[in-house]
Amino acid sequence: MTSDADRRPGFELSDAQWREKLTPEEYAVLRQAGTERPFVGEYTDTKTTGEYHCRACDALLFTSTEKFESHCGWPSFFDPAESDAVILRPDDSLGMRRVEVLCANCHSHLGHVFEGEGYPTPTDQRYCINSISLRLVPAP
């Protein structure tokens, strides 16, 4: 995981191009750091084997191997597919301290990562990711 949020994205579009490429709902989450409602995302409960790519730029972010059931209302992963797939940055919005997760390739908002919640995962982390930020590519 890269913590260098100042790093330039490898995939860049103008705001107008992002608005054309994404639906209004995708744009609100991916480009404006919104959050979809809990328990409504298409990948919250899926158990399909495959890869989860960024819906904005198609970069590989997570795999089904790292996905686990946290019952929090959003898809949860204990680690990204590759260590440099995401960027982590402090998020002090909403009057609380959190860590935002961004796609390292296009800097789109994915969700947040939490630690120390006691889940029985190898990393003790929960990447709480908006389904609308992802596109599942099922394994062949």
Retrieve residue 41's tokens. 């995302």
15-138 CATH fold: 2.170.150
Q: So what's the pLDDT on residue 6?
A: 59
Question: Which residues are designated catalytic?
Answer: 128
User: Which residue's entry shows tokens 């709902």?
Assistant: 25
Q: Locate the DSSP E strands across 30-97.
A: 50-54, 60-63, 67-68, 76-77, 86-91
pLDDT for 1? 47
**Residue extents of the structural domains in the chain:** 15-138
pLDDT for residue 7: 65
**pLDDT for res 21:** 95
Structure tokens at 98: 């959190």
Record the pTM.
Answer: 0.90
The pLDDT value given to residue 12: 78
Q: Which two tokens stand for residue 121?
A: 């995962």
The rounded radius of gyration (Å) of the Cα atoms in the chain is 14
One digit per residue, pLDDT tens: the chain, 140 residues?
444 555 666 677 889 999 999 999 999 999 999 999 999 999 999 999 999 999 999 999 999 999 999 999 999 999 999 989 999 999 988 788 899 999 999 999 999 999 999 999 999 999 999 999 999 999 99
Residue 75 has a pLDDT of: 97
> In sequence order, which residues have a C-beta less than 8 Å from that of residue 82 and are 6 or more positions away?
60
Q: Is 102 helix (H, G, I), strand (E, B) or coil?
A: strand
